[in-house]
Amino acid sequence: MPLPKAELHLHIEGTLEPELAFALAARNSVLLPYRDTEELRRAYLFDDLRSFLDLYYALMAVLVTEDDFAELADAYLTRAAAQGVRHAEIFFDPQAHTERGVPIGTVIEGLARALDASEERHGISTRLIMCFLRDLSAESAMETLEAAKPHLHRITAVGLDSAEVGNPPSKFREVYAAAGALGLRKVAHAGEEGPASYVREALDILGVERIDHGLRCMEDGELVARLVRERVPLTLCPLSNLRLRVIATLEEHPLARMMDAGLLCTVNSDDPAYFGGYVGDTFHAVREALGLGEERLRELARNSFTASFLDDDEERRAKLIAEVDAYDFGVRRPE
Ligand code: HPA
Ligand code: ZN
């Protein structure tokens, strides 16, 4: 039995496996510029975030109907359940779909259909986080928030993703204020490729509760002290950092040093179809590369529930943390 855990940094479009991409392409008569799944997989060699995003957005052309989004999410939840995920907070990128003519309602209602069935079907409670693409304009983000209004009961939080450098959090001050006024919670990618100052901006200007990635905070001792003091969770994605060359080898990932510094770290998969593993695989990889002991793994799993938006179901949070505390590592591959 795998260690129970929450996944807090997962782009649903990043779970599109080549097999499903080709199946959806055939169903929707979309021509992909790859002969087969093998040729597509061979394209998964990235130099940086931008080179990944180009392929990530291009492949989304196969996602057209509500059924497609429901199928994508259910496929992820099936895989996640097998790796011990008991709670998932799932990002989606509405503008990547509305920009190519797919209505936001199709995206949200399709995903929601799979998420609504998740607890019963997979034992995974879920939340949905709507991300703004930071390389598009602030006006486009505001229009997206407006368009999402009929579906807000489906959405727990807003997030900020896509190409970070040159698109600081401050660009999205107004839309985050508007989202907060609507009762949405707030997270943002910051300090992945961008500098530590973007982490500060996300906290001070956007008022986020959690930082996605955030590993470059380690370049700023005062910021680290603040993140520790304020118990701001960081949703780290070590395999993503490796594949997007934020780090050269997994052994040099700062996760262990960050935990030693007292930061509230979680481990997540980001875009598992592209980066070589789901969250259980990621736990396994960091355990091997960084030599994390059982108590460190238990701490990461506990943190994932502590940092989750389960505030409206404290009973479930307590139950899941108790499962982590009682977990018996007396098996060979506990991830
Ligand atoms: N960073 C920024 N934007 C993203 C990512 C990421 O790792 N994955 C999908 N969109
Ligand atoms: Zn991400």
- Would you tell me how many other CB atoms lie within 10 Å of the CB of residue 185? 20
Contact criterion met (CB below 8 Å) for 3 and 283: yes
**pLDDT, position 330:** 83
* Helix, strand, coil % in the chain, rounded to nearest 5: 55, 15, 30
CA distance 31 to 252: 40
pLDDT in tens, 256-275: 999 999 999 999 999 999 99
Under DSSP, is residue 58 helix (H, G, I), strand (E, B) or coil? helix
Contact criterion met (CB below 8 Å) for 101 and 51: no
192 is catalytic: yes
Q: What is the pTM of this model?
A: 0.97
pLDDT in tens, 175-202: 999 999 999 999 999 999 999 999 999 9
Task: Kindly give the distance from the C-alpha atom of residue 69 to the centroid of ligand 2, in angstroms, as a whole number.
Answer: 19
User: Which structural domains are found in the chain, ordered by start?
Assistant: 5-324 (3.20.20.140)
Give the list of residues 6+ apart from residue 67 with CB closer than 8 angstroms, or none: 110
Find, among 170, 135, 155, 41, the residue nearest to 91 by Cα. Answer: 155
Question: Phi/psi of residue 215, each to 5°?
Answer: -65, -25
**pLDDT, position 334:** 58
Task: Kindly give the distance from the C-alpha atom of residue 328 to the centroid of ligand 2, in angstroms, as a whole number.
Answer: 31
Please identify which of the residues 192, 201, 299, 335 carries the catalytic annotation: 192
Q: What is the mean pLDDT of residues 41-60?
A: 97
pLDDT in tens, 205-245: 999 999 999 999 999 999 999 999 999 999 999 999 999 99
- Name the closest-CA residue to atom 2, ligand 1: 162
3-state secondary structure 266-329: EECCECHHHHCCCHHHHHHHHHHHHCCCHHHHHHHHHHHHHCCCCHHHHHHHHHHHHHHHCCCC
Task: Kindly give the distance from the C-alpha atom of residue 11 to the centroid of ligand 2, in angstroms, as a whole number.
Answer: 6
